[in-house]
Structure 1
Amino acid sequence: MDKHSRVATHQQQRGAVSLLLAMILLGVFPLDVLLPSFPALASHFGQSPSDIALSISLFAVGIAFAQLLIGPLSDVIGRKGLLLAGMGVSLLGALGCVLSNDYTLFLFFRVMQALGCGCFVLSQALVQDLFEGNERDRLRILMVTATGIFISVSPLAGTFLQATLGWRGSFWVFIALTAVVLVKAWRLLDNSRPVQHGARLGFIQSYRRVLGSFEFVGYWLISAFAFACHFSFIVISPLIFMDQLQMAPYDFALVLLVYGGAYVAGGILASVLNRHISAGQQIFAGLSLILTSGLVMLYLAANHELSAAAVLIPMLICTAGTTLSRPASTSRAMGLFAEHAGTSASAGSTIIFICGGLISALISLSPAHLQATLGYCFVVLSGVALVLNCMIGRRVKSLQAGLRTQAGEG
């Protein structure tokens, strides 16, 4: 596939940016915005809050299963059809949730919505298809920044929707947004995506190829560990701010809004550094900041009483590190198998999903020492990621030296 068939025109790229940001919003919207509606859902269906939490777990499982299939399939039949079909399924699932009065039926439609939302994993593949070089790096910085902002403001949006429209409000907004984005994707994207020679591998063979690369897995693990630091904080933040610090839900939502503002600042910093230092240096700098945030968190936990400032200060440092390291490591990983961008995106998203879920679950097992546990988590994860980055760098240098030696002998 030549450059002109692979890289979008400037006008397409401008439309693609808004489409990708909308896909990111729809990817986090069904999970985080619904959290403030748990009591209302429990009352409506006559279930306990823990039973309602099952809908979140099933939603996560549905997305994980769907994205494993969608990525490799998109490498063969193209992105547009799968994206449109996925959004259509998620829209119908959300509509079914709104109309449900039986909890079992609600769970069925919730899983249906999740299976459709698996199509949003194609955002990384579309970046690989439509952009190149520094444009990809800048867009991935924007996407990481947007993800953090959307997740951070979701509780406040969910509180507002619950107060004005009830628990169905988040579903109605999701349906409206999905319908708009579906039309936008239909008009913007090409009907098909040419497949490069060698891309038509079988499902298992495609995953075997990408996951057999140490560099590919290593870069995605670096991205996953950086994401896990952010995701773990989001998951346990209600326990810290609402349970331990006794904040009201509205005050808690405002705290997360401040945290979202830190993502904007981190994104600006990452955009500036992206023009002056290499991707490897960005990864190292970002992970070093996460390590520093963990050490600051541990110091504050040992020497000061628990407070909002004692948690937010190190988290702001961590946020800067996340917005630096994740886009750079993701770009490095996605660039290794450009002809299998869908499979690469699905494999990487699954790695991130598993790491974020497991690590946040482990942290929540020590509710009495959440601040210190979070600090230790940052130190360990960033330390392991720094070692991985160093190992990848050495392997790349060794390979380059071997190629130079072969060229000299030839």
Structure 2
Amino acid sequence: MNENSSAVTSRQKRGAVSLLLAMVLLGVFPLDVLLPSFPALAAHFHHTPADIALSISLFALGIAFAQLLIGPLSDAIGRKGLLLTGMTVSMVGALGCVVTSDYTVFLIFRVVQALGCGCFVLSQALVQDLFEGEERDRLRILMVTATGIFISVSPLAGTFLQATLGWRGSFWLFTLLAALVWLKAWWFLHNDRPTHRDRPLGFIQSYRKVLGNGEFVGYWLISAFAFACHFSFIVISPLIFMDQLQLAPYDFSLVLLAYGAAYVVGGLVATVLSRRMNPEEQIVAGLSLILLSGLVMLILSSAFTLTITSVLIPMLICTAGTTIARPAATSRAMDIFPHIAGTSASAGSIIIFICGGLISALISLSPTNLQSTLACSFLLLSGVALLLNQWISRRRTHLAGQGVAQPRRP
């Protein structure tokens, strides 16, 4: 992004890490804290829990649309202004959700909030701007691990907010946190613009360049399929645990606490593997665990009645695989076009959220057993991702054999 990126001091890096983790928190917050409030939302708006679950998928699609513009614009005008504007819009959307009693208007304000939350895609671009080499890989593992920690805590926070402030409490707290992060970003970030040497391409040309690269799209699809396994479970988890198994919101939050803990374990394993395996091997290891989780879930759903254990055991395996595969695939994709990191991050996140939103919506609408449908989706998604990774490896080997220059990696 700018010539001073390599000269970031240790103190600035610590500040950058805290800001990035806060952005990760705000990216998770609008989804996971609201989960214990599904019954209350359904009752308030006189809709079914399935309709509320679909609103989560709509939120993901809204984020994807916003990111279409934010990444290329940040390459042209800098990251800071767009980040501050996006957080402001997200706060307006959250406050709008608080004041409405109409389901349609609620969905509109959720989309507004999602459009603002699209600015958090810049976290990947900031990682690319401010860090190099193995630091980037370790930070991306930390960010995925932090996602798991926030996932594990968010339902408990949501249960507390629901009990004390009702479903509106999560939107009030989001607004407060977003305001604090807004102040930190305003204080810490510089709105650096591209140098003449790194001046980005136009909007269409930038997307044509990144999306026309098979390796780039392939790595992001791998990351997207791994994310879709996690996101699909998050979207339908209230339907399984609160609707079918009749768990109270507090008990549901404890279940997700155990699920989120798997992210921490997966992050530790991914950190160890990053020092012993190359990224392609990490991707294969992570996707293989997701494949295994699908097989285990399918067997358990066929042989036993639906229980917390029959769902949670395969999900712990899946989450460990997701935490290993996603950072490696993301780093490989982001390293291909470092000079247009904003566009790269937006293109990748659009792929991720479209895949996550559409796949989770299809699963939530499934007329058959949700557990079996989820298991089959894990098998299909991990299988396709493994084939994609194999295709990329063969393509790179073929190009290297022909003497074709490979994309520069820092």
TM-score normalised by L of structure 2: 0.91
Indicate the residue corresponding to 1:284 in structure 2. 284
Q: How does 1:137-152 map to 2 (within 5 A)?
A: 137-152=137-152
In 2, distance between residues paired with 1:379 and 1:54? 23
Which region of structure 1 is more displaced relative to structure 2, 95-104 or 254-263? Answer: 95-104
Is 2:240 aligned against 1:240?
yes
Indicate the residue corresponding to 2:328 in structure 1. 328
SS of match in other structure, 2:276:
coil
Structure 1 pair 353–95 and aligned structure 2 pair: CA distance change class (3 A): same
SS of match in other structure, 2:250:
helix
SS of match in other structure, 1:375:
helix
Deviation at 1:223, TM superposition (A): 0.4
Indicate the residue corresponding to 2:12 in structure 1. 12
Amino acid at match of 1:24: V
Deviation at 1:224, TM superposition (A): 0.6
Structure 1 pair 85–312 and aligned structure 2 pair: CA distance change class (3 A): same
Amino acid at match of 2:47: S
Amino acid at match of 1:170: S
Indicate the residue corresponding to 1:408 in structure 2. none
In 1, distance between residues paired with 2:14 and 2:344? 24
Indicate the residue corresponding to 2:136 in structure 1. 136
In 1, distance between residues paired with 2:298 and 2:326? 23
Structure 1 pair 152–359 and aligned structure 2 pair: CA distance change class (3 A): farther
Whether the 8 Å contact between 2:334 and 2:344 is mirrored in structure 1 is yes
Amino acid at match of 1:347: A
Q: How does 1:347-386 map to 2 (within 5 A)?
A: 347-386=347-386
Indicate the residue corresponding to 1:315 in structure 2. 315
Is 2:277 aligned against 1:267?
no
Which region of structure 1 is more displaced relative to structure 2, 331-340 or 369-378? Answer: 369-378
In 1, distance between residues paired with 2:300 and 2:168? 41
Deviation at 1:40, TM superposition (A): 4.3
SS of match in other structure, 1:336:
coil
Amino acid at match of 2:296: V
Deviation at 1:111, TM superposition (A): 3.3
Indicate the residue corresponding to 2:204 in structure 1. 204
Deviation at 1:47, TM superposition (A): 4.5
Q: How does 1:294-305 map to 2 (within 5 A)?
A: 294-305=294-305
Amino acid at match of 2:69: L
Deviation at 1:158, TM superposition (A): 1.5
Indicate the residue corresponding to 1:94 in structure 2. 94
Instruction: Name structure 2 gaps, 5 residues minimum.
Output: 406-410
In 2, distance between residues paired with 1:227 and 1:403? 35
Which region of structure 1 is more displaced relative to structure 2, 239-248 or 116-125? Answer: 239-248
Whether the 8 Å contact between 1:144 and 1:323 is mirrored in structure 2 is yes
In 2, distance between residues paired with 1:127 and 1:236? 31
Structure 1 pair 389–163 and aligned structure 2 pair: CA distance change class (3 A): same
Whether the 8 Å contact between 2:53 and 2:364 is mirrored in structure 1 is no
Superposed CA deviations along residues 253-307 of structure 1, whole A, max 9, x for unmatched, are 1111100011111101101111111111101111111111112222222333322
In 2, distance between residues paired with 1:302 and 1:224? 28
Higher relative contact order (CA 8 A, sep 6+): 2
In 2, distance between residues paired with 1:56 and 1:310? 25
Larger Rg: 1
Indicate the residue corresponding to 2:408 in structure 1. none
SS of match in other structure, 1:194:
coil
In 2, distance between residues paired with 1:314 and 1:25? 25
Structure 1 pair 52–294 and aligned structure 2 pair: CA distance change class (3 A): closer
Indicate the residue corresponding to 1:85 in structure 2. 85
Whether the 8 Å contact between 1:7 and 1:132 is mirrored in structure 2 is no
Instruction: Quote the sequence identity (%).
Output: 74
Whether the 8 Å contact between 1:298 and 1:371 is mirrored in structure 2 is yes
Deviation at 1:102, TM superposition (A): 6.2
Structure 1 pair 106–363 and aligned structure 2 pair: CA distance change class (3 A): closer
Deviation at 1:162, TM superposition (A): 1.4
Structure 1 pair 247–34 and aligned structure 2 pair: CA distance change class (3 A): closer
Is 2:186 aligned against 1:189?
no
Indicate the residue corresponding to 1:221 in structure 2. 221
Which region of structure 1 is more displaced relative to structure 2, 308-317 or 251-260? Answer: 308-317
Equivalences, count: 404
Amino acid at match of 2:114: A
